[in-house]
């Protein structure tokens, strides 16, 4: 996929976001990953997610009235709990994935344009929240939770398509030609093999300080056939720190991508790879200062399931 479409930006929700005061601060949260490497915020207060319609005709860009009312309720709560995280963003409805509302903002660095995309996962997860109203075949359950699962990322763009003064679609600047390596297994057990994970490790290890332990956090990763950046703390301060690093690193990596891909077709990523050692030696050490002190720590949650806490110094939650 090299295009992200903006189907329906809800005017009432975006008007609400526009009223968030500059002085408003988030109520506090901590950063974590679950055992499936999914990012979530442990919130300082409970978020109450109302019931949402389950079904939607993907040919219709506009959500139903019950869906819109429920989403406005959620955004009002986020504006109180995470004002710094959504201030300045634009909400839009995605008919292909209705339970992951999208928020975006465009950034320009020199002549390059980047899309910041925040996806919030509103589906109820067993053991991650308390059901307050049961669901049915037509609506999701209403529940309360202190865990907000999300994706928060920067994506380099080739172009922005406009219509009547608003963004209609974002064309991704694809730097990676093909991440498919081949297949493994036999018969019905054949599986495709891609190098996306190895590319993510290659990109991230280049910019992380020596010895940094950050699994499962990869600050730079391969997605949409390009180099993206994860901004796990969704506030604007973390974005301002991370975006220049992504911009400089893309400029550094762009002429080397084909060589990196060819090296990874011969085997999995290793810090001993000649290509990696050479590029890491050439990358300015000062660029790694943006990620100095970032670390993860494994622990067991209340159900004895493995999770990870993520520490990012000097970032106000």
Q: What is the pLDDT of residues 26-78, one digit of tens each?
A: 888 999 999 999 999 999 999 999 999 999 999 999 999 999 999 999 999 99
Q: Which residues pair with 112 in a beta bridge?
A: 109
Percent with pLDDT over 90 in the chain: 80
Condensed to tens digits (0 to 9), the pLDDT of residues 93-139 reads 999 999 999 999 999 999 999 999 999 999 999 889 999 999 999 99
Residue 179 has pLDDT above 70, yes or no: no
Condensed to tens digits (0 to 9), the pLDDT of residues 295-313 reads 999 999 999 999 999 999 8
Distance CA 30, CA 242 (A): 18
Average pLDDT for the chain: 91
Copy the structure tokens of residue 227. Answer: 């180099």
pLDDT of residue 184: 42
Question: Rounded to 5 degrees, what angle do the CA atoms 9, 14, 16 make?
Answer: 150
**Residue 49 host element (H or E):** strand 39-49
Q: Where are the alpha helices (DSSP H) in 29-110?
A: 65-81, 83-86
**Statement: the pTM of the whole predicted model exceeds 0.85:** yes
Residue 18 has pLDDT above 80, yes or no: yes
Report DSSP state, residue 34: -
Instruction: Give the mean pLDDT of 209-219.
Output: 94
For residues 184 and 142, the model is more confident at: 142
pLDDT of residue 117: 97
Report DSSP state, residue 53: B
């Amino acid at each position: 996929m090299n295009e992200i479409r903006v189907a329906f930006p809800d005017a009432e929700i975006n008007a609400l976001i526009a009223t968030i005061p500059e002085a408003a601060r988030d109520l506090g949260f901590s950063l974590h990953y679950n055992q499936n490497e999914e990012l979530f915020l442990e919130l300082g207060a409970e978020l109450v997610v109302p019931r949402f319609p389950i079904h939607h005709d993907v040919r219709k860009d506009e959500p139903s009235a019950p869906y819109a009312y429920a989403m406005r309720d959620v955004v009002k709560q986020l504006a109180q709990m995470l004002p710094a995280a959504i201030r300045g963003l634009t909400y839009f409805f995605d008919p292909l994935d209705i339970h992951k509302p999208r928020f975006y903002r465009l950034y320009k660095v020199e002549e390059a344009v980047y899309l910041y995309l925040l996806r919030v996962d509103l589906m109820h997860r067993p053991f991650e929240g308390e059901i307050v109203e049961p669901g049915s075949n037509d609506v999701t359950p209403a529940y309360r939770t202190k865990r907000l699962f999300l994706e928060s990322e920067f994506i380099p763009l080739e172009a922005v398509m406009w219509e009547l003064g608003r963004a209609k679609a974002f064309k991704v600047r694809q730097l990676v030609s093909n991440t498919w390596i081949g297949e493994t297994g036999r018969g019905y057990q054949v599986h495709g093999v891609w190098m996306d994970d190895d590319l993510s490790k290659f990109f991230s290890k280049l910019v992380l300080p020596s010895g940094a332990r950050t699994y499962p956090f990869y600050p730079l990763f391969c997605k949409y056939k390009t180099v993206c950046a994860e901004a796990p703390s969704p506030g604007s301060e973390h974005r301002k720190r991370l975006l220049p690093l992504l911009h400089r690193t893309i400029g550094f990596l762009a002429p080397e991508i084909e060589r990196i891909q060819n090296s990874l077709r011969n085997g999995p990523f290793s810090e001993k790879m000649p290509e990696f050692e050479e590029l890491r030696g050439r990358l300015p050490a000062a660029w790694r200062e943006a990620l100095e002190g970032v670390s993860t720590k494994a622990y067991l949650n209340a159900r004895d399931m493995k999770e990870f806490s993520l520490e990012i110094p000097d970032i106000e939650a």
